[in-house]
Amino acid sequence: MTTKNTFEAAYENGTAGWIIDQPQPAVLELERAGLIRGAVLEPGAGTGEHTIALTERGYDILGIDFADSAIARARENAAAHGVPARFEVADALALTGPARYETVLDSALFHVFDGESGRAYAEALHRVCLPGALVHILALAEAEPRMGPQISAGTIRAAFGADWKIESIEQSSYRVSVNEKHWAESGLPVGILDRPAWLAHIRHLG
């Protein structure tokens, strides 16, 4: 599993390829399709583009990340946009408190976990989600050239056990930034491009 220090360093040295300064198109499509409702949690919120966009649209959403530098930048971004988006530093594997969330929006967090931590993540989400809540996971799929963590659809299925129902896992895309500092050695062109991804919809069974 990728460490907190690794993420902090990526934000500080400009190698965070997941920062594209806009929401992922797949996430915006979820919103247009009416698949985001109620109280929303975004674990691994990063620099906050999704939480800001959804707050602006009137959603009750909290963005969390365990990287202090990510949350600091997310709050700066929200202020720059004049949006009262909420962010907290928190560990997605250690979520506590009363169950309140009806939607979880995971854009490129789950794929950094190994088997054990993936199951711990599913258990943590189960604690804070209401019965019937829907978890959306957008994760990089196995593809060449390799760019960062990638997973199979089976990895998602293995993490979410009897307390969950996997409603669908479909092919999607995840937009990344390739720059001279990061991933350019893969042979991919420098710039913003789409990479193969999985989009999973998983229901909390209570």
Domain ranges of the chain: 4-204
pLDDT by residue (tens digit) across 141-160? 998 887 778 999 999 999 99
Look at the domain 4-204 and name its fold: Rossmann fold (3.40.50)
Asked if residue 191 has pLDDT above 90, the reply is no
Q: Which of 70, 100, 101 is nearest to 87 (CA)?
A: 70
pLDDT at 206: 80
Percent of the chain at pLDDT > 90 equals: 76
pLDDT for residue 168:
98
Compute the distance between CA of residue 44 and CA of residue 46 in angstroms, rounded to an integer: 6
Bond before 145 cis per omega within 30 degrees? yes
